[in-house]
Homo-oligomer: A and B are copies of this chain.
Amino acid sequence: MSEKITIYDIAKKLNITAATVSRALNNNPKIKESTRELVLETAASMNYKQNKLALALKSGRSNNIGVIVPRIDSNFFASVIRGIEEELYPHGYQVIICQTHENPKRESENLYTLIDAQVDGILMSVSGVNNENDSAFRNVLEKNVPLIFFDRSKHIEGVSSVTINDFKGGYIATKQLINQGCKNIAHLSGDQSLEIFKNRFLGYKQALIDNGIEFNEKYVIQSKSSVEAGKEAIDILLELETPPDAIFSSSDFAALGAIQELKERNINIPDDFCVAGFSNEPFTKFMEMSITSVDQSPLEMGRMSARVFLEQVDKTDTIKIEKKVVLAPELHIRKSSTRTTS
């Protein structure tokens, strides 16, 4: 139960004032070299540790940044967080994690909680686009706390974002399916009120159009990102009078479900049905029937978001730069969409 050592303890021991100790520790030039050394030595010998809370209160900066994600136990978000942590650690920032579980109310709560906790910035991936929590966002902006969106963004003036080009991601994945000779390509989308899903869908659609394939509304199914949802989608799609011969899924999990259901029905992948997913979750590569997927370079996304934060945090309040970083998606072509027969 070592007592907490403060600069006052050091001061008392050396018969000087706390101010001098503070200055010595902070390399203030107004301190004689000999006293500085003396203070430094004494501080070390007493095992002094600066109280970050006192510093935070005084300076108004907590050296904590908040990260809000729908959930942490998905490889994508975990990897982004890893990137953020790695980039900010050398700068002395600690990362506080909050999960919304896709619940906008939790999202608001998290925003308020982080602001209350005096974080120096908030990096987040939005959980849904309703306007219920507008006031929470407004609160952040009013407090002049840097806010940066990654992956799932939201249009707010003055707010920077780091995303990937989802349109292009949808486009190249669909294009690859077309290249394999698929003619009737279905699309499993997520909640299209979220831009990422909207854009992937638009990329998909554009790829069809550019390649002379008619867009069929019936081929687009909106569902959750789960294995079960993928299976159900196949159930529905195969009931159509012209069932599709490929599917581009906005979710790797749904893509996996689709594959499982197709196998169940003895439909040959990729020769009779091609599948492509999105996110490049680790399992897509591990499977026997490895799944073609669009990589979002989450690590890079996290690092980049952190860098954007660092750029903004020291700027004076008046200069508000809105920076939009868009990373390029990369298609990892695997067995699920690589036909051996030509």
Contacts and interface: CB of A to CB of B under 8 A. Distances in A.
Interface of A: 1-2, 4, 49-54, 56-57, 62-64, 71-75, 78-79, 81-82, 85-86, 89, 94-99, 112-118, 142-144, 227, 256, 282-283, 286-289, 317
A115 B49 contact: yes
A241 to B, nearest CB: 31
B288 A288 contact: yes
A85 B94 CA distance: 16
| Top-9 shortest CB links A-B | A288-B288, A283-B283, A73-B78, A78-B78, A2-B142, A53-B57, A73-B79, A73-B82, A53-B56
A75 B72 contact: no
Nearest to A299: B73
Q: Which of A71, A72, A82 has the most CB of B within 10 A?
A: A72
A71 B256 CA distance: 26
B96 A113 contact: no
B62 A71 contact: no
Contacts of A51: 57, 118
A115 to B, nearest CB: 7
Contacts of A144: 1
A71 B75 contact: no
6 contacts: A1-B142, A2-B142, A56-B56, A85-B98, A95-B96, A227-B286
A256 B286 CA distance: 8
